[in-house]
Amino acid sequence: MTLQDLLALASGGLVGFALGLIGGGGSILAVPLLLYVVGVRDPHVAIGTSALAVSLNAFANLAQHARAGTVKWGCAATFAVAGVAGAFVGSTLGKLMNGERLLALFALVMIAVGVSMLRSRRADGDADVRMNLKMAPRLVSVGLGAGALSGFFGIGGGFLIVPGLVFSTGMPILNAVGSSLLSVGTFGLTTAANYAVSGLVDWKLAALFILGGVAGGLVGMRLAVRLAKERSALVRVFAGVLFAVAAYMLYRSVGPMFAGASG
């Protein structure tokens, strides 16, 4: 294995560890890790490769939530189907955007994710909610928007999908988290397929990233059980990491844009 292969394996392990330890939000580190640690030079390749890794990770977690009975399949499927169209449009636009500008916007999204993680989430809601025609328009419209943003940035988009499902259906946060994974997986797969058609997925790095993520996730989940009482502190620390990485990405991406404009 080359040094890059080992770095991809380790970076995947770090993302999996973060996801296992604190839950949603960890996968957004995949793109900056691929760029600045693994050494992927093209931002579009980093986004396409990350989307594939995030998608398969989400489907693996979806299976666990399905066994636990937390997935509201009717609502989840409606949201996901609508979002796939948005993810295709968003990923197509993302491929057309200048890589540095795309990374600058990605950094702003990281800040939004960090802020979202710091907000407290209410656990109440209607646990018996079922898909019906009244909520369908909201699910479709919010799903389209979330899918478009997910596809544009190549992210799972759970920080958008979870509150979107709560808003559209009134389901409890636990069910929204479980149900969101169907959308995270399908949006990521749609984005990865769109990027792959243009040759913007590094399949070897994606496989290593996923392999590392599985191992890191197992370690993170075991540690999460031991540190359950400290979860809120861990989330705040992780949000701080996101802010720091976002600042670095802005520095790396905005600097060259200004240099090019002045030149």
> Is 241's pLDDT higher than 80?
yes
| 32 to 8, 130, 142, 174, 247: CA distances (angstroms) | 12, 38, 27, 29, 11
- List the domain boundaries for the chain: 3-254
Of 21 and 260, the structure prediction assigns the larger pLDDT to: 21
Instruction: Tell me, rounded to whole angstroms, the distance of Cα 129 from its chain centroid.
Output: 26
pLDDT in tens, 194-239: 999 999 999 999 999 999 988 988 888 788 778 767 878 877 888 8
> Is 243's pLDDT higher than 90?
yes
**What mean pLDDT is reported for the chain?**
88
pLDDT in tens, 30-86: 999 999 999 999 999 999 999 999 898 888 888 888 988 989 999 999 999 999 999
